[in-house]
Amino acid sequence: MSAVEPESVPAAVDPAAPDPVAELTSIRQSIDNIDAAVIHMLAERFKYTQRVGYLKASAGMPAADPNREQVQVARLRQLAAESHLDPAFAEKFLNFIVAEVIHHHERIAGGAK
Ligand SMILES: O=C(O)C(=O)C[C@]1(C(=O)O)C=C[C@@H](O)C=C1
């Protein structure tokens, strides 16, 4: 089944909701697809930040860059607002990821593989 076929459009757009169980199953398929995409995107992001960790360690740069984070937070808060997502959540989500990245950077700088 192609993702562009009409029957793959979430039934949530149908106010009649003739079959709640079928609609729930369909929505859960889309949620699972989105969750998979998030994991794949995070894996790619961490591949890049791993490289950043090695670059910073080799140049003697600190693991964290608060100025860069400030710019990222402002940008993501703006994007979130435009997308009707809670900006506070977007900021928390970024901070959660960046904290993990900094932890990785510190391990790299400390000589851990
Ligand atoms: O851009 C950097 O300098 C990074 O180390 C990457 C990153 C990020 O994950 O986006 C992580 C830590 C820094 O404090 C800022 C940003």
For the question of an ipTM over 0.90, the answer is yes
Reported confidence tier of residue 103, pLDDT bands at 50, 70, 90? very high
Q: Note whether 62 and 83 are within 8 A (CB).
A: no
Residue 21 lies in a domain: yes
CA of 105 to the centre of ligand 1 (A): 9
pLDDT tens across 45-69, in order?
999 999 999 999 999 999 999 999 9
Distance CA 107, CA 55 (A): 13
Distance CA 37, CA 79 (A): 19
Residue 84 lies in a domain: yes
Give the domain range for residue 96. Answer: 6-109
Name which residue sits closest to atom 2 of ligand 1, judged by CA. 65
Residue 1 lies in a domain: no
Q: Note whether 57 and 105 are within 8 A (CB).
A: yes
Residue 61 lies in a domain: yes
CA of 35 to the centre of ligand 1 (A): 23
Domain of 71: which CATH number? 1.20.59.10
> Which atom belonging to ligand 1 lies closest to the Cα atom of 102?
12
CA of 31 to the centre of ligand 1 (A): 28
Q: Which tokens in the block code for residue 4?
A: 């562009």
Domain count, the chain: 1
What would you measure as the largest C-alpha separation in the chain, in angstroms?
62
Residue 16 lies in a domain: yes
pLDDT, position 7 = 52
Residue 80 lies in a domain: yes
pLDDT tens across 17-40, in order?
689 999 999 999 999 999 999 999
31 — phi, psi (to 5°)? -60, -45
Distance CA 68, CA 26 (A): 40
Distance CA 66, CA 54 (A): 18
